[in-house]
Amino acid sequence: MAVNLGGIAMKNPINTASGTYGFGWQFEGFYDVSQLGAITTKGCAAEPWPGNPAPRMCDVYGGVMNSVGLQNPGVKGMVAEAGEYLAKLAEKGTAVICQVAGHSVEEYVAAVEQFEELAPWAAGLEINISCPNIAQGGIAMGSTPDGAAEVIKAVRPRTERPLLVKMAPTRVPEVARALEAAGADALSVINSIPAMAIDVDTRRSKLSRPTGGLSGPACHAIAVRMVWEAAQAVQIPINGVGGVSSGRDAAEFILAGATSVSVGAANLWDPTCAPRILQELTAWVESQGVDDVNELIGAFEC
């Protein structure tokens, strides 16, 4: 079940999606997190961000919407809070991927430099250029090939660690090619999908802002299609993200071309789901009559 995500060695393909898994220790009361191939920590910037005002989450049919605004304690605060735990988790063989947030190219660079200095246990960095809830930058920077590439070109010289890029669900093949050319080692496809939910009694948004990011099963088929499109466009590995709540969901991503799979919103309503999904995925791989999960990556036939 071991895979390699752009230089990040994982003992199995199951990762967690940033923003749904805290810094890992929050789930230790439910199961041994070191079972997983990797975890991706909540996005952190060079300085703490307060995030958006409440309400910041709401249920919708088939998933959840959020407008958290990437509230985070900053890289230094995150390392002070969780660094010791994450170092021990890395020693147990679970890759720790730290997500990097920023409102500008300069902020991304500053955050990467802080991770380089303070987080030697990080197996790789995931550059989030796609969050639809960032008031400045964010979706605007990640939705065009030039804007996306600009961020990666700036941070690439600052680290030798593998760089993943969390992609917006926009112009995926074009942006993916630009990111590969700029030096990305792998892609996380996709981030939440911009959406809207209105309370028809109050005639107001169910969130504090008009729109937010949609996550959960409602996104899954869209995400599978975008993983497949990205896999056709680039040679670097892909981490599939979007609506995974079972081993069969994870298997779809692998057949579409993903090397690894992140469990996201499902952690919010079933905090024990990730090891179950790993068990189900392992059983599926065995059912396919192969000795190595890598034989199934991109094995979709039309």
Instruction: Please name which of 128, 110, 203, 126 lies closest in space to residue 161, comparing C-alpha atoms.
Output: 126
The answer, yes or no, to whether residue 150 has pLDDT greater than 80, is yes
Q: Strand 3-5 vs strand 8-10: parallel, antiparallel, or unpaired? A: antiparallel
Active site residue: 98, 131, 219, 273, which one? 131
DSSP H helix total and E strand total for the chain:
9, 16
Please state, in angstroms and rounded to a whole number, the distance separating the CA atoms of residues 179 and 295: 26
Read off the pLDDT of residues 262-293 as tens digits, 9 standing for 90 and up. 999 999 999 999 999 999 999 999 999 999 99
- CA dist 91 to 37, 82, 121, 293, Å? 12, 14, 8, 24
Amino acid identity of residue 33, one-letter, is V
| DSSP assignment string, 112-159 | HHHHHHH-TT-SEEEEE---TT-SSSTHHHHSSHHHHHHHHHHHGGG-
3-state SS class at 185: coil
Total residue count of the chain as it appears in this document: 302
243 is in an annotated binding site: yes
Q: Can you give the residue ranges of every domain in the chain?
A: 3-53+68-193+216-296
Q: Tell me, what's the pLDDT at 132?
A: 42
7 is in an annotated binding site: no
212 is in an annotated binding site: no
Residue 131 known to be catalytic: yes
The answer, yes or no, to whether residue 165 has pLDDT greater than 60, is yes
Peptide bond into 190 cis (omega under 30): yes
Q: Which CATH class is domain 3-53+68-193+216-296?
A: alpha beta
Read off the pLDDT of residues 30-88 as tens digits, 9 standing for 90 and up. 999 999 999 999 999 999 999 999 999 999 999 999 999 889 999 999 999 999 999 99
What percentage of residues in the chain have a pLDDT greater than 90?
Answer: 93
268 is in an annotated binding site: no
The answer, yes or no, to whether residue 216 has pLDDT greater than 80, is yes
What percentage of residues in the chain have a pLDDT greater than 70?
Answer: 97
153 is in an annotated binding site: no
Q: What's the pTM value of the predicted model, to 2 decimals? A: 0.96
**pLDDT grade for 236, boundaries at 50, 70 and 90:** very high
66 is in an annotated binding site: yes
What beta strand segments (E) does the chain contain? 3-5, 8-10, 14-16, 38-40, 57-60, 63-66, 95-100, 124-128, 163-166, 186-189, 193-195, 198-199, 204-205, 212-215, 238-241, 260-263
Q: Are 95 and 37 in contact (CB under 8 A)?
A: yes
If you average pLDDT over every residue of the chain, what do you get? 95
Q: Tell me, what's the pLDDT at 68?
A: 93
**pLDDT grade for 140, boundaries at 50, 70 and 90:** low
The answer, yes or no, to whether residue 136 has pLDDT greater than 70, is no
